[in-house]
């Protein structure tokens, strides 16, 4: 069966000058997730408890800490790796991961190696390459982004990286 999740994207409310996702939007998405979990539980014949959901949520949030720190390294000149490589980290956020501790360790190692590249001034593109915001990297053809890099343009951030924890837009590509 096909399930659709309706997301409420009506914009932001400002509380004390800080953009926030409206409470009704959070409640709406939570209700949609509950509906999907109930349907999946029924179709698959398994029970997905609130505890299971919270464990998964916390795993993803811990992963996002690594993802964000690695993404911030892309502000350096030269960038320590390609946005094509960063896309692999984006996709990990939406696929089923069972060995979270191994993923965290891999991200920690990657982060340390990228920091070394930053310290040495190494990267796939030359220092001074103009930086741009790019759309989400195509899963079916990352060669499009490779072409952009070969033209001497550095896609350093994609739309998935443009939001801060409060949900507000945070464009800071260095």
d(CA 20, CA 108): 30
Instruction: Please check whether residue 63 is in contact with residue 92, taking contact to mean a CB–CB distance below 8 angstroms.
Output: yes
Model confidence over 113-145: pLDDT tens digits?
999 999 999 999 999 999 888 777 777 888 888
Q: Per this entry, what is the length of the chain?
A: 174
Instruction: Please check whether residue 83 is in contact with residue 145, taking contact to mean a CB–CB distance below 8 angstroms.
Output: yes
- pLDDT tops 70 at residue 73: yes
- Predicted pLDDT at 134: 76
Token pair of 146 as six digits: 């490779």
pTM of the shown model: 0.71
Look at 49-53, 110-114, 139-143, 151-155 and tell me which has the smallest mean pLDDT. Answer: 139-143
Cis peptide bond prior to 78, omega within 30° of 0: yes
Model confidence over 83-92: pLDDT tens digits?
888 888 878 8
């Amino acid at each position: 069966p096909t399930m659709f999740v309706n997301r409420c994207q009506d914009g932001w409310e400002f509380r004390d000058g800080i953009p926030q996702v409206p409470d009704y939007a959070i409640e709406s998405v939570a209700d949609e997730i509950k509906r999907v979990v109930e349907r999946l539980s029924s179709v698959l014949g398994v029970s997905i408890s609130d505890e299971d959901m919270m464990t998964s949520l916390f795993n993803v949030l811990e992963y996002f800490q690594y993802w964000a720190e690695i993404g911030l390294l892309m502000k350096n000149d030269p960038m320590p790796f390609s946005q094509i490589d960063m896309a692999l980290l984006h996709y990990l956020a939406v696929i089923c991961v069972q060995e979270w501790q191994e993923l965290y360790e891999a991200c920690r190692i990657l982060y340390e190696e990228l920091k070394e590249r930053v310290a040495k001034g190494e990267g796939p593109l030359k220092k001074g390459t103009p930086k741009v915001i790019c759309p989400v990297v195509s899963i079916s053809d990352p060669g499009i982004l490779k072409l952009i890099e070969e033209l001497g343009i550095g896609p350093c951030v994609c739309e998935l990286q443009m939001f801060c924890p409060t949900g507000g837009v945070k464009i800071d590509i260095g």
